[in-house]
Amino acid sequence: MKNTVRVERAIKDITQQDLAVAVGVSRQTINSIEAARYVPSTVLALKIARYFGKSVDDIFTLEEGD
């Protein structure tokens, strides 16, 4: 699953730590999501999307094979 978390973060000019605190996870988790090493739960995906004021579909998109 691809995501645009890094891009959205850059647009909003916030650090991984800022986002991590806002959605209640560790910085490692945000880093792993951005690097596509970890697929977040629905709850976390919704929290991230809400934080950026977008829908989940705008930030997370399925890849072929998902």
Nearest distance, CB of residue 38 and another protein, angstroms: 5
Q: Is 17 in the site for another protein (CB under 8 A)?
A: no
Q: Is 40 in the site for another protein (CB under 8 A)?
A: yes
16-23 helix and 27-34 helix, angle to the nearest 10 degrees: 110
Q: In whole angstroms, what is the distance from residue 15 CA to residue 47 CA?
A: 16
| Residue placing its CB nearer to another protein in the complex, 50 or 64 | 50
Q: Is 11 in the site for another protein (CB under 8 A)?
A: no
Q: Measure Cα distances from 45 to 1, 54 in Å.
A: 12, 11
Nearest distance, CB of residue 32 and another protein, angstroms: 6
